[in-house]
Amino acid sequence: MGLDPGLRRLALGTLLAAYPGPVPPEWAVDLVAAGLAGHTLFGSNVHDAVQVSASTAALRSGRPDVLIAIDEEGGDVTRLAHATGSPYPGNAALGAIGDVALTRQVYQAIGAELASLGITLDLAPTVDVNTADDNPIIGTRSFGADPESVAAHAAAATTGLQAAGVAACAKHFPGHGATVADSHHELPTVDVAPDLLRQRDLPPFAAVVAAGAKAVMTAHIRVPALTGDGPATFSRAVLVDLLRHEYGFDGVIVTDALEMKGAALAAGGIAPGAVRALAAGADLLCIGAKVDADLVERVVAEIVAALGDGRLERTRVEQAAGRAADLAAWTRTTDRTTATPTDLGYAAARRAVRVEGVLTGLDRSLVVHLHANSTIAEGRVPWGLGPHLDATEQIRVVAAETDPADLRRRAGDRPIVLVVRHLHRLAGGPELASALAAAHPVAVVEMGWPATWRPDAVRAFVTTYGASHANGRAAAEVLGLAR
């Protein structure tokens, strides 16, 4: 027997799916017509503005109020500019500048671009307080390590996005900034008392709630004092007692992708995870990036089965679907502002650059780009100085496989500019930088999360607070190497 049509539609109303390729397949549009809350766009869905606009129009042909979401954080996490890098600096750079009015402007500009393409929900801003220098997944996505500063920028970013008519989704509740593991691959643990969370991790969430954020995203992290052995995404104590009751949030609670190991391993799969998230108080379930029609139907079937066997109450699912529907209605009726000039991000990135040491004499350098892996959140987005250099020679190397003597010979009498990302934790990176600086003029351009470690004897240390296209341009300019 098939599923009850009413229950199927109810379950679909809680789901954010996805689809492969630049053109929405027929099944993706059919699911929207059948009640699916919406789809999330990833880099594989984005070729250019004309194509994205056609895709969102196709999805709206299924239902005009479909939610169309995207992870467009600016900085190191961009889907619209995944082929080139974002024209905006990310949160770490904005936090370093310290101008909340600028943060609002940048996010309003991002929101205006999304709105012009028919995208209605931005899975941003990241409002985690990055207190762990070795955090492998947040880093430059954070406004910083100070809760008060992060809270101010988080509120500004939320206000900016929503002024453009795009719903903001602040993430990752109750805070992913103190982790040293990536929830895409495992379940990180933050073993602290709730009072420390309130002081360190939660002020930005209080700020975005006060700013009227339409959505908040859950974290697949374990806080034993609140969540026991499971992630916050499956914890009623976190989602209802803390976020709803203590912090007064009445918008949509969105899960981080249920395909991530931090959730899927804990639940025994995506479909059981969907049931557990709904039972805990989540409203809109992000299935993930690798989605097809069969997976959506399996998740729907599991939700409907849970309604029948008592794991879920119908009123809870109706509440979740109702909140998602209310969010979709807001995106159709809210006022929108126009776009901001396109050079805003580049000007902001220049303001973020910090220089320690002396930059003179670097205009005839050998630029050495050290390979660094990207996170799943970042994806394979180009970074570095390459697109911005004049006639300066650039080579790309793997730090752990490179002999510093070979680089010195290649440079000859030219200084060396090392372009890096998270140098302090790059395999072989600190050793290579120190060995080069001990016997050769070296400047380091750090485009990742800045740590306190510095190589001995380095001539200059330049921090960009991110690796976006705008950050790369700003670094090339300050070094005197830009076209």
Coil/strand/helix, residue 351: helix
- Percent of the chain as helix, strand, coil, to the nearest 5: 45, 15, 45
The residues facing 445 across adjacent strands are: 419, 462
- What is the rounded CA–CA span in Å between residue 80 and residue 95? 22
Q: Is 74 in contact with 53 (CB distance < 8 Å)?
A: no
CA 181 to chain centre: 16
H/E element holding 356?
A: strand 354-357
Give the containing element (helix H, strand E) for 457.
none
Non-local (6+) Cβ contacts of 268 within 8 A are none
Closest Cα to residue 166, out of 366, 27, 339?
Answer: 339
Token couple for 170: 């602040």
User: What does the block give as tokens for 479?
Assistant: 């070094």
The residue from 71, 122, 256, 283 that is catalytic is 256
Contact 182, 132 (CB under 8 A): no
Q: Which two tokens stand for residue 468?
A: 């976006």
Active-site residue flag, 256: yes
How many other β-carbons are positioned within 10 Å of the β-carbon of residue 108?
Answer: 24
Q: What angle do CA 26, 32, 35 make, to 5 degrees?
A: 140
In Å, how far are 60, 120, 132 from 56, measured between CA atoms? Answer: 6, 10, 38
- Which sequence positions are flagged as catalytic? 256
